[in-house]
């Protein structure tokens, strides 16, 4: 990046000063109460407010006096576009009767507020709002999430007992990032994701899903391999969305894929052999409701792998390749109760030929419930993926872009749950 600047003003924007560009709609129409307490991590809350708004939420901030030592009231009101509630008034905002919330998020949740909440102490507007929220949770099922943040020396038996009490009552604790002897606040991405998940009404909630993605390299020697350019982006999108909808997700990613969110249980397969072993082990250890197999599994591998490094001085290198085992077929045979989504990618075929190839598995007694088919010739000029979601009983349905494809797959699965 060059440090040179032509000192021209930025181009005009269609957004007003405090508007945000939506990145999703998971919280559209939802009211989020964000309760800020006395932890230095409070300085990050303006960004969290805007992240919630990017998902469509209306955010109202409650703050303790100690919390406002680390973040300004003006900044929070600027970001939320709502007044900050930091004291009791005749409107009894701590009860939120006239304008109820869909979810309560206490972030950062200090040692003090966690213990107060567990003991039923309500001596300020924030602790009183929590007391009222606990009542709403008990009677109406309104979710409450605490995101703890404090020094590790404060994580004593008293705090552990309080957090256990809160969990037993039904609240969710968002795990902190434990590093350098501290319970650091969870990532903002994690807090937003946990909030979305807590509100899910999807039939996927509680279902277990195994997802694979990315390349599965086959080694040539100790430092070289044959691989594909696939990055696992679609599998990550599916995994993220399935988790937001409440599913228990395990993601197997091939080496060379993009990184998945921290809240996704991810296993990395360095080679095709690793991928095969991890896949079999996962299926043997846990009973999954669905398997979504997007991985670009290697079709061929060298007959032998050179032990060491092939010399770059070799004038000509002739490779003898052999087919790899058909793992999907093995999964179908060994785990017949697993509902499956499989993928078929082709090039240099017509649309009709693609449909014929994709529907072929449906003729078997053991077959996938959903096939996602695409061919290079139908991709958009900018590389945007175009895919067809196919089921035996429905007409093929076209979807454009990885987000649309991921949502379509999960929506089909929801309909079957």
213 in Cβ contact with 294 (< 8 Å): yes
Token pair, residue 95, equals 């009860």
Q: H helices then E strands: how many in the chain? A: 11, 20
Tell me: pLDDT of 416 over 90.
no
Indicate the residue among 198, 221, 250 that finishes a domain: 198
229 in Cβ contact with 205 (< 8 Å): no
- Please indicate, yes or no, whether residues 227 and 322 belong to a single structural domain of this protein: yes
Query: What confidence score (pLDDT) does residue 169 get?
Result: 98
| Reported pTM | 0.94
Domain presence at residue 7:
no
Strands 321-323 and 300-302: antiparallel
- Please indicate, yes or no, whether residues 168 and 219 belong to a single structural domain of this protein: no
Q: Mean pLDDT, to the nearest integer, of 77-102?
A: 94
Nearest to 267 by CA among 329, 229, 349, 210: 210
Query: What confidence score (pLDDT) does residue 363 get?
Result: 74
Query: What confidence score (pLDDT) does residue 417 get?
Result: 79
Indicate the residue among 163, 198, 233 that finishes a domain: 198
Tell me: pLDDT of 238 over 70.
yes
DSSP-assigned letter for residue 356: H
Q: What are phi and psi of 164, to 5 degrees?
A: -65, -40
Q: Mean pLDDT, to the nearest integer, of 276-282?
A: 97
- Please indicate, yes or no, whether residues 128 and 229 belong to a single structural domain of this protein: no
Domain presence at residue 18:
no
Token pair, residue 56, equals 């469509």
> Residue 142 maps to which CATH number?
3.40.50.1950
pLDDT tens sequence across 165-181: 999 999 999 999 999 99
Q: Can you tell me whether residue 52 is helix, strand or coil? A: helix
Mean pLDDT score of the chain: 95
Q: Mean pLDDT, to the nearest integer, of 277-285?
A: 97
Buried b (16+ CB within 10 A) or exposed e, 145-171: bbbbbbeeeebeeebeebbebbeeeeb
Domain presence at residue 15:
no
Token pair, residue 227, equals 């691989």
Q: Mean pLDDT, to the nearest integer, of 213-234?
A: 94
- Please indicate, yes or no, whether residues 218 and 366 belong to a single structural domain of this protein: yes
- Please indicate, yes or no, whether residues 139 and 233 belong to a single structural domain of this protein: no
Query: What CA–CA distance (Å, rounded) separates 107 from 195?
Result: 12
Q: From residue 259, give the alpha-carbon distance in Å to each of 218, 237, 242.
A: 20, 11, 17
Domain presence at residue 17:
no
What total of structural domains would you count in the chain? 2
pLDDT tens sequence across 125-171: 999 999 999 999 999 999 999 999 999 999 999 999 999 999 999 99
Count of C-beta atoms within a 10 Å radius of residue 106 = 29
- Please indicate, yes or no, whether residues 369 and 276 belong to a single structural domain of this protein: yes
Token pair, residue 285, equals 């250890």
Domain presence at residue 63:
yes
Chain-centre distance of CA 140, in angstroms?
Answer: 27
Domain presence at residue 186:
yes
DSSP-assigned letter for residue 43: G
Indicate the residue among 198, 227, 242 that finishes a domain: 198
- Please indicate, yes or no, whether residues 275 and 172 belong to a single structural domain of this protein: no
Q: What are phi and psi of 132, to 5 degrees?
A: -65, -35
Domain presence at residue 4:
no
Query: What confidence score (pLDDT) does residue 83 get?
Result: 97
Token pair, residue 8, equals 């021209």
- Please indicate, yes or no, whether residues 231 and 171 belong to a single structural domain of this protein: no
> Residue 242 maps to which CATH number?
3.40.50.10300
- Please indicate, yes or no, whether residues 193 and 285 belong to a single structural domain of this protein: no
- Please indicate, yes or no, whether residues 143 and 52 belong to a single structural domain of this protein: yes
The range of the structural domain enclosing residue 177 comes to 31-198
- Please indicate, yes or no, whether residues 173 and 97 belong to a single structural domain of this protein: yes
Query: What confidence score (pLDDT) does residue 388 get?
Result: 96
Q: What are phi and psi of 379, to 5 degrees?
A: -65, 150
Span between the terminal Cα atoms of the chain, in Å: 49
Domain presence at residue 290:
yes
- Please indicate, yes or no, whether residues 139 and 43 belong to a single structural domain of this protein: yes
Nearest to 339 by CA among 274, 265, 403, 414: 414
């Amino acid at each position: 990046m060059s440090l040179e600047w032509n000192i021209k003003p930025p181009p005009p924007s269609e957004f007003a000063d405090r508007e945000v560009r939506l990145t999703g709609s998971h919280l559209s129409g939802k009211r989020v109460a964000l309760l800020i307490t006395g932890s230095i991590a409070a300085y990050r809350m303006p960004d969290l407010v805007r992240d919630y708004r990017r998902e469509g939420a209306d955010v109202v901030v409650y703050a303790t006096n100690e919390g406002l030592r680390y973040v300004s009231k003006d900044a929070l009101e600027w970001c939320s576009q709502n007044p900050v509630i930091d004291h009791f008034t005749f409107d009894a905002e701590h009860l939120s009767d006239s304008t109820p919330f869909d979810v309560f998020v206490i972030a950062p949740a200090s040692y003090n507020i966690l213990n107060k909440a567990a003991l039923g102490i309500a001596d300020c507007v924030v602790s009183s709002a929590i007391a009222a929220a606990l009542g709403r949770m008990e009677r109406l099922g309104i979710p409450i999430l605490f995101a703890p943040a404090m020094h590790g020396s404060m994580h004593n038996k008293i705090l552990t007992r309080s957090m256990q009490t809160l969990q037993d009552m039904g609240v969710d604790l968002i795990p902190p990032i434990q590093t350098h002897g501290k319970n650091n606040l969870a990532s903002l991405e994690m807090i937003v994701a946990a909030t979305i998940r807590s509100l899910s009404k999807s039939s996927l909630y509680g279902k277990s899903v195994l997802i694979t993605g990315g390349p599965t390299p086959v080694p040539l020697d100790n430092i070289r391999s044959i691989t594909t350019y696939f990055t696992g982006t679609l599998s990550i999108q599916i995994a993220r969305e399935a988790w937001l909808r409440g599913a228990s997700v395990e993601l197997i990613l091939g080496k060379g894929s993009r990184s998945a969110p921290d809240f996704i249980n991810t296993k990395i397969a360095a080679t095709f052999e690793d991928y095969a072993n991890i896949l079999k082990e996962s299926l043997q250890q846990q009973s999954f409701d669905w398997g979504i197999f997007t991985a670009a599994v290697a079709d061929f591998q060298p007959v032998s792998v050179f032990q060491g490094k092939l010399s770059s001085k070799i004038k000509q290198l002739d490779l003898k390749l052999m087919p790899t085992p058909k793992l999907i077929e093995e999964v179908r045979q060994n785990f017949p109760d697993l509902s499956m989504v499989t993928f078929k990618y082709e090039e240099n075929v017509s649309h009709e030929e693609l449909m014929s190839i994709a529907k072929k598995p449906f003729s078997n007694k053991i077959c996938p419930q959903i096939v996602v088919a695409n061919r290079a010739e139908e991709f958009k000029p900018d590389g945007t993926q175009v895919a067809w979601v196919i089921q035996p009983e429905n007409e093929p349905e076209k979807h454009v872009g990885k987000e649309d494809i991921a949502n379509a797959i999960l929506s089909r699965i929801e309909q079957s749950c």
